[in-house]
Structure 1
Amino acid sequence: MEKRFEQWINVKKKQPEDILALIQNGDDLILPLANGEPQVLIDILEENADKFQNVRIHQMHAVKERAYIQGRRKPSLSHVSYFLSGASRRAFLQGQCELVPNHFRQVPRILRESTKTSLVLAAASPIDEHGYFSLGTQADYVSSFIGKVPFFLEVNRKMPRTFGANQIHISQIEGYVTVDYPLHEVLMPHVTDTDRCIGSLIAEQIEDGATIQAGIGAIPNAVISLVGGHKNLGIHTELLSDGVIDLVESGVVNGIEKKTYPGKIVTTFALGTQKLYDFLHENPAVEFLPVEVVNDPREIAKEDQMISINATTEVDFFGQCASETIGGNYYSSTGGQADFAQGASLAKKGKGFICLHSTTKDGLISRIRPHLTAGSIVTTSKNDVDRIVTEYGVAELRGKSISQRSKALIQIAHPKFRDELTHEAKRLGFIT
């Protein structure tokens, strides 16, 4: 570290307890999602919750189940979620924390307009020789507030240094603490034969030179594993996971035909295993940008061959996709699925794939349905849907009538449900 930053460091380097002096009653604190979560700083807040009144913590996808999320620190400290995770799902279903509906791209604006944006608490990589910290595995919604909202950083030696619009100079922060603990890892999901079958149907519709977005789940990961024979692919995705590494190292992904940020992998956050975090460290090929940019359908549509791949839990004859509920019970949130569905639909040769197994795990219920299960929430609308994929084929819905959609969806339903679905479609007057 050059000596010119020593004076800054002497002023800005703090102890975890120093965060308490920066928080006032009624504040709105903003945390990044996943590994951007500053574990030690939140520990301090929880331990001292009785010193505050009505402090709200806003976050997507919390990684650690905590007492305040479960409502055991109210009214001092409460949790406002923008995407449920295993750490917050039960609390929401029990009415102990709040959930704000959103498209991922909208979260920075929602926070600007509906909260005080009092302080951002974020994990970061160590300072570099130029005086900059990196938000590491993140840009997400918090990078939009750099230079506009006070930041307090938890600098983790294990956080990779990454590049893009997620850099923050030491002069722009209120302070920082240093920690050393491993990052949260998410293993690649188990891929079944059914997943591979669905993945192969999608992979064969991806052309050389395409730009790919792949969501969370076994099927999107299966697709990524099946495009190893393609050439000159690009990546523009909200979530970057382990599957991309082999494609980059084999030369399949090089981004040379991308229209925006050619040669770069564009993402807004990364979540996977330590292998991914090692891949990201000081890798100039990966560009972390604010979600307002990455998930903007107009930005997505600039890629002529944009391929969007996401999963859902059920689809009805209209083409409505319920991707944030399971059997009518709330599970997650919208995330960026609709952002990329809209972006792919606007792209010149864009294709948006929504994939699912044809039945529930026990095989007793069809996931292709006349109407969504009661309580289900529409994530991708009938107007934005393009292609639905099961292990029985691809139903192209864009520009098709309800009658045509019903027939196409019945054809990719499990064979044992097709007669029943046809009967229902006729009863509803959708087909004759």
Structure 2
Amino acid sequence: MNYEREYLKKRVQPHQAAAFIREGDDIIVPLIPGEPPGLLDALEKRTDLKGNRLFQMLTARPPIAKPPEQLKVISMFLSGGDRKSFHDGQVDLLPNHFSDVPQLLEEITSERVVMATVSPMDENGYFSLGTNCDYIAPIAKQAKTILLEVNQYMPRTFGLNQIHLSEVTSLIENHQPLLEAPSPVVTEKDEKIGRFIAELIQDGDSLQIGFGAIPNAVMESLKNHRNLNIFTEMIPDKLVDLYKSGAVTNMGRSDYPGKTTATFAFGTRRLYDFLHENQQFFMLPVHETNHICRIAQMDGIVAINASIEVDFLGQCNSEKAGPLYWSSSGGQAEFGIGARLAKRGRGIICLHATTKDEQISKIVPAFAPGTPITTSKNDVDYVVTEYGAAKLRGKTIRERTKELIQIAHPKFREELRFEAKKMGYL
């Protein structure tokens, strides 16, 4: 096959590509930065949609504003792009474990249209989903229609995230810089938490870690560690520094020796350039990176995840801030269970002891009614704040309560003890 000639046949204008979407089709896009802005803009301009649904996750753009009978927007993980729209009733939220998303989409969708940003085609006719593999790669194998947005700024990565030209219905070109993650401001509290967590990590461990101020502080404290392996769902910007410091080698892995595995990446141009044609990275679908059984096979896996609040039982709410739904479950529960089952596995939940203004403790006696439980009390292991690390696994309720009060902000400890006594926990 002459791939260049076939490529030109399938290359069209955005409105022509969007015309392949039919009434009742379910449209699925990857999470940022794999969302295709040109194709989504063309979709928004369609005036004849009817009974369509758009499935998105961790989006950065405002939702397409159309009546739900034309286009219903369904989020699988709320973020800055669609959080307000969910609260306003314009977007709905689909509960899920991240690893379940491919199977979940297979069960509840039909007439699937996949739209995604990809790297330019290689000499063998393959496009790379670049920063992504997530749920989009496996669901593309079952899609009726595949619409691609070719972008020279998308890094070419390796793994199970390749789409061949022969599978593609239509494509457009839209060369614009990828969305970049904002650089989090690391505070003194974050640095303290980072050091406490680093003390729980040994040379040769395998890490699951993500994006944010506390994960950045953790990785900064790991630069002098050696022979670390990365088995994660997300590749953050700061991982570049761990590579350059010599801390990460991935040589302790039996499954993908010498390689970091992940299902998506989100960072700055520095990260995207580092990933481009880098054989040290291998992208996998989320049902592999986040599958509990796969995680449990990783000797010495350390799962590091953030939470909004933790109660005396050790339950973690990582989804709802006060009365407002903030995010979703993601992969936190899966990695918590997988780490619990793994040999030498450790699960670490991290959070500040208080809200930013220090007016509310994030260690609480009990959650308010309607609060979602992201990580079960039976799966929680360590909880870390800027005041220390509480080991909960293997501890009774009364022992857990004491441990958690010790890492709460000092000004709330007396009040927390009072509440614990009222509840019969002390």
Q: Which position in structure 2 is the counterpart of 1:124?
A: 118
**CA-CA distance at 1:215 after TM superposition:** 2.6
Correspondent of 2:251 among 250, 253, 256? 256
| C-alpha distance in 1 between matches for 2:255 and 2:354 | 39
Q: Does 1:180 align with 2:178?
A: no
| C-alpha distance in 1 between matches for 2:133 and 2:111 | 17
Which deviates further from its counterpart, 222-231 or 367-376? 367-376
**CA-CA distance at 1:407 after TM superposition:** 1.1
Q: Which position in structure 2 is the counterpart of 1:51?
A: 48
**CA-CA distance at 1:74 after TM superposition:** 3.5
| C-alpha distance in 2 between matches for 1:117 and 1:196 | 48
Contact kept in structure 2, 1:215 and 1:311, CA below 8 Å: no
What is the correspondence of 1:256-295 to structure 2 with a 5 Å cutoff? 256-295=251-290
| C-alpha distance in 1 between matches for 2:53 and 2:168 | 21
Q: Which position in structure 1 is the counterpart of 2:313?
A: 318
**CA-CA distance at 1:221 after TM superposition:** 1.4
**CA-CA distance at 1:142 after TM superposition:** 0.6
What is the correspondence of 1:197-236 to structure 2 with a 5 Å cutoff? 197-236=192-231
Contact kept in structure 1, 2:210 and 2:236, CA below 8 Å: no
Contact kept in structure 2, 1:315 and 1:322, CA below 8 Å: yes
| C-alpha distance in 1 between matches for 2:2 and 2:24 | 38
Kindly, what percent of the aligned residue pairs are identical? 49
Q: Does 1:62 align with 2:59?
A: yes
Contact kept in structure 1, 2:230 and 2:248, CA below 8 Å: yes
Q: Which position in structure 1 is the counterpart of 2:331?
A: 336
| C-alpha distance in 2 between matches for 1:408 and 1:357 | 15
| C-alpha distance in 1 between matches for 2:254 and 2:410 | 42
Q: Does 1:22 align with 2:17?
A: no
Q: What SS does structure 1 have at the residue aligned with 2:76?
A: strand
Contact kept in structure 1, 2:318 and 2:374, CA below 8 Å: yes
Q: What SS does structure 2 have at the residue aligned with 1:279?
A: helix
Contact kept in structure 1, 2:23 and 2:52, CA below 8 Å: yes
Correspondent of 1:91 among 85, 92, 103? 85
List gaps (5 residues or longer) in structure 1.
Answer: none
Relative to 1, partners in 2 of residues 1:6 and 1:365: Cα closer, same or farther, differing over 3 Å? closer
Relative to 1, partners in 2 of residues 1:363 and 1:6: Cα closer, same or farther, differing over 3 Å? closer
Q: Which position in structure 2 is the counterpart of 1:420?
A: 415
| C-alpha distance in 1 between matches for 2:408 and 2:249 | 37
**CA-CA distance at 1:251 after TM superposition:** 1.7
CA RMSD between the two structures: 1.3
Q: Which position in structure 2 is the counterpart of 1:410?
A: 405
User: Quick one: which amino acid aligns to residue 77 of structure 1?
Assistant: L
User: Quick one: which amino acid aligns to residue 112 of structure 1?
Assistant: E
| C-alpha distance in 2 between matches for 1:252 and 1:365 | 37
Correspondent of 1:368 among 363, 368, 387? 363
**CA-CA distance at 1:73 after TM superposition:** 4.1
| C-alpha distance in 2 between matches for 1:144 and 1:92 | 27
| C-alpha distance in 1 between matches for 2:181 and 2:7 | 34
Q: Which position in structure 2 is the counterpart of 1:137?
A: 131
| C-alpha distance in 1 between matches for 2:256 and 2:295 | 12
Contact kept in structure 2, 1:259 and 1:302, CA below 8 Å: no
| C-alpha distance in 2 between matches for 1:199 and 1:375 | 31
**CA-CA distance at 1:117 after TM superposition:** 4.9
Q: Which position in structure 1 is the counterpart of 2:240?
A: 245
**CA-CA distance at 1:173 after TM superposition:** 1.2
Q: Which position in structure 2 is the counterpart of 1:348?
A: 343
Q: Does 1:101 align with 2:95?
A: yes
Relative to 1, partners in 2 of residues 1:215 and 1:93: Cα closer, same or farther, differing over 3 Å? same
Relative to 1, partners in 2 of residues 1:409 and 1:152: Cα closer, same or farther, differing over 3 Å? same
Contact kept in structure 2, 1:160 and 1:282, CA below 8 Å: yes
**CA-CA distance at 1:120 after TM superposition:** 0.4
User: Quick one: which amino acid aligns to residue 98 of structure 1?
Assistant: D
| C-alpha distance in 2 between matches for 1:172 and 1:337 | 34
Q: Which position in structure 1 is the counterpart of 2:383?
A: 388
Q: What SS does structure 2 have at the residue aligned with 1:57?
A: strand
User: Quick one: which amino acid aligns to residue 415 of structure 2?
Assistant: E
Q: What SS does structure 2 have at the residue aligned with 1:98?
A: strand
Contact kept in structure 2, 1:211 and 1:236, CA below 8 Å: yes
**CA-CA distance at 1:21 after TM superposition:** 3.3
Contact kept in structure 2, 1:259 and 1:303, CA below 8 Å: no
| C-alpha distance in 2 between matches for 1:60 and 1:184 | 15
Contact kept in structure 2, 1:328 and 1:373, CA below 8 Å: no
Question: For each residue in 1:201-242, what CA deviation from the matched residue of structure 2 results, as whole angstroms up to 9, or x when unmatched?
Answer: 010110000111113321111101110111100111111111
Q: What SS does structure 1 have at the residue aligned with 2:117?
A: strand
Relative to 1, partners in 2 of residues 1:60 and 1:388: Cα closer, same or farther, differing over 3 Å? same
**CA-CA distance at 1:186 after TM superposition:** 0.8
Q: Which position in structure 1 is the counterpart of 2:75?
A: 81
Contact kept in structure 2, 1:46 and 1:73, CA below 8 Å: no
Contact kept in structure 2, 1:260 and 1:302, CA below 8 Å: no
Contact kept in structure 2, 1:25 and 1:55, CA below 8 Å: yes
**CA-CA distance at 1:310 after TM superposition:** 0.9
**CA-CA distance at 1:297 after TM superposition:** 1.3
Q: Which position in structure 2 is the counterpart of 1:34?
A: 32
**CA-CA distance at 1:365 after TM superposition:** 1.4
| C-alpha distance in 1 between matches for 2:295 and 2:126 | 29
| C-alpha distance in 2 between matches for 1:190 and 1:375 | 31
| C-alpha distance in 1 between matches for 2:401 and 2:255 | 37
Q: Which position in structure 1 is the counterpart of 2:296?
A: 301
Contact kept in structure 1, 2:63 and 2:73, CA below 8 Å: no
